[in-house]
A and B are shown apart, each in its own frame.
Chain A
Amino acid sequence: MSLLRDVSPRLWSISSSEQVALAKRAAQITTELQQGVKKPYKNVIDVSWGDPHRGGLKPLTFVRQVVATCLYPSLLNSEALPVDVQQRAKSLLGECDGGSVGSYTSTRGIPKIVQSVSEFISRRDGGVQSSPENIFITSGSQRSLMMVLELFVQSEGFLQTGVLTPVPSYPYFNKALSALGGTMVPYHLCEEQGWKLKVDELRRALHVARGHCNPMALYVINPGNPTGHVQNRKSIEDVIRFAAEEKLFLLADEVYQDSVHDPSCEFVSYKKVLFEMGPPYSNSVELASFNSISKGYFGESGLRGGYVEFVNLDPTVVGYVYNLFSLDTNSAILGQITLDIMAHPPQPGDPSYPTFSEEIRSIKDTLASNVHRVHDVLGDLPGISSQPIKGGMFAFPQLHLPPCVVQEAKEAGMKPDVLYSSLLLEETGLCVGAGCEHGQKEGTHHIRLCIATPEENMEEVLNRLSTFHLSFMSRLS
């Protein structure tokens, strides 16, 4: 008899991932291919992750040179490394206790790096002040999200804490919320209007929820994951006004702030808009904004670096927030170092600047070109419709599946998009994300593809997808 059978009901409530089954099968197929099993394809391509390096994009040279030098300071004398790499490494090591990246750092992160991050935020927001006191660096922004949720979610009391959460959403936010015992208050993004966030829908969702739970926060992802929308200033203002009226704490997931592909769109941070709206908003609306080194040009997911900035946090809770973050001891130090580079990249005139800016330009071009190709190819396929990908790292097309497929899936006890994705994987070796993982409007079905991958790989992905899709549709008719 096991002691542990009686696991907290909260944990049972974390949704099991349908994606896990797909990933397992993908790994199995890879093994089969290695063992020489004949398939109509020679490898598995996995675009279900939001992971640029796994997708084949290369790390930025300057980042890796500085990290390597911090790890192995003998490289400080290496002539093979540019002077600015050595300077940066030396100055960062000077900020580490004992001059080693092997030491603990303070709870918020290395003070100098927290300072850099606050300067970065302030620059990004056109001078809106940012104070290091309000920033915590963590081992990835997911960790920040989890800690912030923990502040809200009451483990005691009769009414569950509710958080307004977009549909579709970033599934690991939803899982983190369930793990803590909170409850999702779903609001739908409007797919027909390019996944627009509409305040009416927020209001509807909130009113339905009141009475069932205690809605305390509103989670927004901008640029969108998996939806690729980018909110304009007006839309952000509306959301802020709504949060103020309804007394909701804003959680702004802005980890894709670097990735805006549509030249007519621009990333504007919630914090900037909030401050430009002036009082009473700017001095009352509570906001936590998240950023990360995992996305955008850096794509350093494995190093685990991210941060949260709090705005208008009540003074009575500040000390407790600090204590809670202290429990993590500190965030992984190489992630902190990479954040420092994100906050202060090489400048024109620095020896590393030409390479650095060239690498970024090339990634930008790749993503822009992938966005075009996805639109072109999916636009021509019958039974698929796709909204413009204005930002972020994903395409999230809708599959218009005929009733017979939906029925068959139902009989098999599967979600229709899982069924589609499984067949796609089996027949072409292409692994995509199933839309149900993210949540979607009842009766609609989607798949998610990561577009952070080299152009030739994207081409192959689209090729496999369209071949499969056409054959799938023709089999049905």
Chain B
Amino acid sequence: MLPSRSVWICIQREKKHICHRSSQHVTGLLKSSGSPVITPSPLSSFSFSKSLSGLSAARRGLIQRKMSENGVTARRSKVLTIDTMNATVKKVEYAVRGPIVQRAVQIEKELKEGAKKPFTEVIKANIGDAHAMGQQPITFFRQVLALCSYPELLKDSNFPEDAKHRARRILQGCGGESIGAYSASQGIDCIRQDVARYIERRDGGVPCDPDNVFLSTGASDGIVTMLKLLVAGEGRNRTGIMISIPQYPLYSAALAELGAVQVNYYLDEEKCWGLDISELQRSLEAARQHCNPRALCIINPGNPTGQVQSRQCIEDVIRFAAKENLFLMADEVYQDNVYADGCQFHSFKKVLFEMGPEYSNTVELASFHSTSKCYMGECGFRGGYMEVINLDPEVKEQLSKLVSVRLCPPVPGQALMGLVVNPPQPGEPSYTTFMKERTAVLSALAEKAKLTEQILNTVPGIACNPVQGAMYSFPRITLPERAVKEAKEKGQAPDMLYCMKLLEETGICLVPGSGFGQRDGTYHFRMTILPPVDKLQILLSKLKEFHQRFTKQYS
């Protein structure tokens, strides 16, 4: 006699689940792919012919010729070439890490080597990297993380008790009480529970189930993972994903990588980058002609556009998604970064639940958060989470499987996410310092948001919407026709030409609007509001001078 009854049942139940799933998959595969037909190629007598089959005709011809001269030469050609590599990878472009940034790094190197330039340092206002711009980390977070890394420090009386308490709690959640152990793929249990409680507090009591929380390697890991689940079908059935224009280029890059159809909807620059439902409708209907739009991505507060959505607008979007049967992806990584009077952050989840069961029981939503933005700005840790709502249970299992492939998010990033959602409380020793640091960062950002808007709007030819939230301004620039022409001759986007010149002449590194998408014939750049106030003022006045010079030069 073998196992006890209960084990059998327990294991069989798991097993059944697994079998059910895999048989579904098999039928799915058969349906979708059909059996591959192999046509014998004229080269099939050669052992390596197969690897040539992916090559372009021209290259095949070349290799054939070479082979007739000398078979060995042909073998030298690489396995992985531009012709054989994954076609979707070729389409991946990532503007925030594009040519401008690469040139900036080069210039920095040249400066270090003593090259003479009209400036002494490169100011990187291209990327939302607060610490690189001198913002100080939150003391409490770093204390706890240091304690977790080197628990001997728990004996050190210089560390406050609440930091030690948190560190012990985190370590207890780790395998072997070490942040060096793998965690479960979904993330450390007690941290997911803390995230759930945070979401409930933030959303005025709307319940959150820790099982719906997945910790991630920065928000981008969560976003790409959800997109992977959504993308399917071929031809007209290929998944389309609606993204705002301007957008954060992670979306376009990931869609290219996954071979999904990018469906653009335009934000209204005249209305402070507002989102208009009729534009969503237009975009969706146009897309339905050639693909299968399944999801709508929203970035709120907006990147690169800095707008903060009103509660009403979010409701409208949710109604639209419900009506059109779209999956909602809410990128809410700037949820603490709201500066403008009268603006407030509302989470999609909260609004969804306040709209009642008709919506809250049906609309599928994934919302994303990160440790990289807000007041902490801890980009290097790659911490983040996503919450999924109304996800089909079977799909959720696919999601669990998918996240298991990447093993687990970095544990220090998980720990940090845990601290962000569970910061020092009133009465705890670190509370006062924590609040002081947090407020200082957020009010400095508010000041810089205002300053940026004001100064930019004094420059003829630059028009900047209010920076209501997030970390960027995205002003529109008027470029002289000659500049536009010159850029076109060079095969460059006109605002790329502008930003490249700006970098070469002033050392200021910005990202051209073309990297984010914009209405045809309009030009922009994205600039962060992160440099310290004095540096930001210098930057803005240099920018002003440059713009005037540039305009003059090309008129």
Contact = CB atoms under 8 A, between A and B. Distances in A.
A296 interface: no
Contacts of A78: 156
A304 B409 contact: yes
A225 B76 CA distance: 32
- Which 8 pairs from chain A and chain B are nearest by CB? A54-B175, A12-B25, A302-B411, A97-B132, A333-B380, A2-B392, A21-B14, A72-B146
A158 B53 CA distance: 11
A475 to B, nearest CB: 7
B512 interface: no
Contact of A329 (B2, B180, B218): B218
Contact of B88 (A9, A155, A249, A328): A155
Contact of B15 (A21, A176, A303): A21
A21 B36 CA distance: 35
Contacts of B57: none
Number of contact residues on A: which range applies? 35 or more
Most buried by B among A20, A67, A72: A72
A75 B22 CA distance: 53
Nearest to B136: A100
B380 A105 contact: yes
Contacts of B48: 246-247
B54 A154 contact: yes
Contacts of B147: 68
17 contacts: A7-B229, A25-B11, A52-B180, A71-B149, A98-B134, A142-B407, A146-B405, A150-B86, A151-B85, A286-B78, A294-B182, A301-B182, A302-B410, A313-B78, A320-B90, A323-B89, A419-B3
Interface in B128-178: 129-137, 142-143, 145-147, 149-150, 153, 156, 158, 174-176, 178
Contact of B176 (A4, A56, A68, A80): A56
A413 interface: yes
A11 interface: yes
A160 B25 CA distance: 17
A59 B180 contact: yes
Interface in A326-342: 326-335
Contacts of A216: 51, 79-80, 84
A8 B395 contact: no
A157 B10 CA distance: 42
A294 B407 CA distance: 12
Nearest to A312: B78
Contact of B228 (A11, A49, A68, A414): A11
Contact of B149 (A64, A280, A286): A64
Given A59-B180, A98-B131, A100-B137, A412 B12 contact: yes
Given A2-B391, A152-B80, A323-B93, 14 more contacts: A3-B364, A4-B392, A11-B228, A14-B405, A64-B149, A102-B380, A217-B79, A302-B182, A316-B82, A327-B92, A329-B218, A329-B220, A329-B382, A333-B381
B532 to A, nearest CB: 11
B29 interface: yes
Interface stretch (B197-205, B251-259, B421-429): B251-259
Contacts of A59: 178, 180
Interface stretch (B283-291, B396-404, B432-440, B477-485): B396-404
B259 A324 contact: no
A101 interface: yes
Contact of B25 (A13, A158, A215): A13
A24 interface: yes
Given A4-B229, A11-B398, A12-B24, A327 B131 contact: no
A248 B76 CA distance: 11
Interface in B308-347: 325-327
A418 interface: yes
Given A7-B229, A154-B87, A75 B146 contact: yes
Contacts, number: 370
Interface of B: 1-4, 7-8, 10-12, 14-19, 21-22, 24-25, 28-29, 32-33, 36-38, 47-48, 50-51, 53-54, 72, 75-76, 78-82, 84-90, 92-94, 97, 105, 124, 127, 129-137, 142-143, 145-147, 149-150, 153, 156, 158, 174-176, 178-183, 217-218, 220, 224, 228-233, 250, 253-254, 257-259, 294-295, 325-327, 364, 376-382, 391-392, 394-395, 398, 401-402, 404-413
A215 B80 CA distance: 12
A68 B150 contact: yes
A17 B376 CA distance: 37
Given A316-B81, A326-B97, A102 B407 contact: no
Contact of A327 (B3, B8, B37, B94): B94
B178 A68 contact: no
B37 A158 contact: yes
A179 B142 contact: no
A473 interface: no
Contact of A16 (B8, B21, B78, B182): B21
A300 interface: yes
Nearest to B292: A6
A155 B87 contact: yes
A16 B22 contact: yes
Interface string A1-36: 011111111011111111011001100000000000
A54 B181 contact: yes
Contacts of B33: 9
A261 interface: no
A438 interface: no
Nearest to B90: A320
